[in-house]
Amino acid sequence: MIPGRLLPAHRVVAVSRWQAAFRMAFKDPERAKAYQRRWQVEHRASKNASTQRWRDANPETTRAQNNLYNMAHREQRRAYSRTYAAEHLEQVQSKGRVYRETHRVELRAAAKAYAAKHTEQLRISRRVYDKAHPEIIRARRHAFAKAHPENRRAKDGRRRARKNGTIATLTAAQWKAILTAYKGRCAYCGVKPKKITQDHVVPLSRGGAHTAENVVPACISCNLHKGDRQPPTLPAVRLLL
Binding piece for Zn ion, criterion CB under 5 A, among 15-23, 25-33, 188-196, 231-239: 188-196
Contact between 186 and Zn ion per CB under 5 A? yes
Torsion angle of alpha carbons 76, 81, 82, 86, nearest 10°?
140
DSSP state of 233: S
Q: Is 216 in the site for Zn ion (CB under 5 A)?
A: no
Minimum gap (Å) between residue 222 Cβ and Zn ion: 3
Rule CB under 5 A: choose which of 154, 209, 222, 237 binds Zn ion.
Answer: 222
43 vs 78: CA distance, rounded Å: 30
For residue 187, the minimal CB distance to Zn ion (Å) is 8
Q: Is residue 219 at the binding interface for Zn ion, with CB under 5 A as the rule?
A: yes
Q: Using alpha carbons only, what angle is made at residue 198 by residues 195 and 199, rounded to the nearest 5 degrees?
A: 120
189: contact with Zn ion by CB under 5 A: yes
Rounded Cα distance between 205 and 66, Å, is 77
**C-alpha distances out from residue 43 to 24, 33, 37, 167, 219, Å:** 22, 15, 10, 86, 90
Asked if 182 touches Zn ion (CB under 5 A), the answer is: no
Q: Which of 188, 208, 216, 237 binds Zn ion (CB under 5 A)?
A: 188
- Summarize as ranges the residues that interact with Zn ion (CB under 5 A): 186, 188-189, 219, 222
